[in-house]
Structure 1
């Protein structure tokens, strides 16, 4: 299954809307980045080219999605300047907005434990079921991540696409949805974490280890690499929360 099919399946599973256009789905993707804290008011958007590469869609699709969001007042587009986030009031556009609000009420430890359990199952299933086209998509995603090594926002956009492609490759829509929801937990803190020196490079190395396990069709290796990556996310997020508490 290629990425276009994965995206279409994800949209249908999350919203119950079949045959959704790629443009509308990119609208939901961008709205979700805003709803979950990857993007905030005043943040410049990645360029059309960068966003198209991160989401594996055409620049025309990205351009259409940005136009829709600008007419709703969510993005601000001005000639000769970068498009910026104008509002976080995305309403029902974000595919995870309602569930994200529920997930945000859990503790970091609970979410960490849940992610370890669910991602273990997803990674093992993906190692057995993943298609060559999806592996190629993951390789391209890592290349896009490397191009975003100095841009935490763009990296997180690529990062989410990398994770959700693997969640879908596991073949269980319910587990994929749960994993995607848990991934979105405290993304505003995750954005701060990946801005730390060497953080993005370390995450990319983790992603390469995950990809190697999937390429080898090795469930144990894929699950182990996922666990190492998730534990690293947990540790850096915990450190940020502790630092924030000390400053109060």
Structure 2
């Protein structure tokens, strides 16, 4: 069983049709460790299973949305935590960004459907300078102009929110103390919209976007992982050993 610290690495709350998912490591600038990966992966499943119509992804505290990987406690399977890579998410997800958004934090933000940032937010992807990358960031090449994507991924330079918006990474920039409220207003509009239309439009647009090889691999691994950890798999193995017909339940 996970200890209390691991259980609290990601917080999930629901209010009036909106699920809020918060990375909860403010003292570590919300860096990603194994507990965060597991927590986000589970949070997307929780959101999928709920009646909520929109999710907001954010970080606890004002200093950082997510400052990338905690290299001292990270096994390199970040793809499991990314919406529509590690877990398919048909409902819209909004990133609410305050403070630092670095490395893997940028990947999480860029794979959300919409993104709002505070005026003091800072973005950079320093993996080429650090000597470490999971490679999933390459998917941004189909989500923003290629020259901008190359500049952001290769140079590791810090950029502010207005430049990030001009590059196609953000939808809106607001005052730092208005980020979450702005995301909630956007989420309310989505919650009040026709859910089947929202789902269809999101799905069709994502199907239009080209996926990077690592993104495709992550999606495939996620689908196979669901089978690997399913009750049906356990039932099939048990039935084979007991020489009886299996009773599959699609779970």
**TM-score normalized with structure 2 length:** 0.29
Higher relative contact order (CA 8 A, sep 6+): 1
Structure number with higher helix proportion:
1
Q: TM-score, normalised by structure 1?
A: 0.29
